[in-house]
Amino acid sequence: MIKGIVTAGEKEMALGIKLLILDVDGVLTDGGIITGSTMEGVPIELKSFNSQDGLGLRLVKTCGIELAIVSGRTSLATKCRAEELGILECHQVSIGDKLPTVEKMLKQKNYGWESVCMVGDDLVDLPVLEKSILPVAVANAVPEVRDICKWITDVPGGSGAVREVCERLIKARGQWEQALDTLLLPVGSPE
């Protein structure tokens, strides 16, 4: 559903996107969480992130789209991944606080909902998805999320779904060649 010919309406909508908001568990990951502890009893949490999603996010940033993570749970793994990808807006909030967190972020950036693409998978994402101009569900999203989204990825979260969204946005904006050129510039080359 996410692939195919870009319509004029999609292009116009994609050109207006200034902020791509991502959930984490079930979107940037497959939803699995590995927990344990060190010999000293210090808790450890591990998550598996898809490297193709990471490259897609780097590509979309070259097109002037800002990135934000808004997760309903706190995790050091999420913080580390956000830092690795250069995502400055990484908000780990209690489940019911996603909408107020996003509204505050939009106010600070002076963006409206017509500037927002949100990728989600579960019920806690609904309040933000419902207000976003471009709500996107990953293939493994619950039916309530899938029902309100304009795009649904072909693959589940943690398996390249975010990469699909990034490529679709870039191509709809007509910036695919530009994004590739920027990515593939040799290190030290003038831009």
The domain limits of the chain are: 8-28+49-179
Measured in whole angstroms, the distance separating CA 162 from the mean position of its chain's CA atoms is 6
Whether the CB-CB separation of 50 and 72 falls below 8 Å is answered with no
Q: In this predicted model, what pLDDT tens digit does every residue of 80-103 receive, in sequence order?
A: 999 999 999 999 997 778 999 999
Task: Please write the tens of the pLDDT for every residue from 121-166.
Answer: 999 999 999 999 999 999 999 999 999 999 999 999 999 999 999 9
Residue that is written with structure tokens 């999203």 in the block: 141
Give the residue, 60 or 181, on which the prediction is more confident. 60
8 Å CB contact between 29 and 49: yes
What's the rounded Cα separation, in Å, for the pair 62 and 170? 9
DSSP state of 165: H
Tell me the three state secondary structure of residue 134: strand
How many residues belong to the chain? 191
Distance separating alpha carbons of residues 172 and 166, to the nearest angstrom: 10
Q: Does pTM top 0.85 for this prediction?
A: yes
Question: Mean pLDDT across the stretch 26-52?
Answer: 93
β-strand pairing of 151-152 with 134-137: parallel
Q: What are phi and psi of 37, to 5 degrees?
A: -155, 160
Where does the chain show beta strands of DSSP type E? 19-22, 34-37, 43-46, 66-71, 89-92, 116-120, 134-137, 151-152
- Crossing angle of helices 161-172 and 51-61, rounded to 10°: 20
Is there a contact between 128 and 148 (Cβ–Cβ < 8 Å)? Answer: no
Other beta carbons within 10 Å of 187 = 4
pLDDT, position 191 = 46
Average pLDDT, the chain: 91
Quote the CA–CA distance of 143 and 32 in Å, as a whole number: 20
Confidence check: pLDDT of 119 > 90? yes
Residue 189 scores a pLDDT above 90 = no
Band of pLDDT at residue 8, cut at 50, 70 and 90: confident
Query: Which residue shows structure tokens 């998978």?
Result: 121
Q: Architecture of 8-28+49-179 per CATH?
A: 3-Layer(aba) Sandwich (3.40)
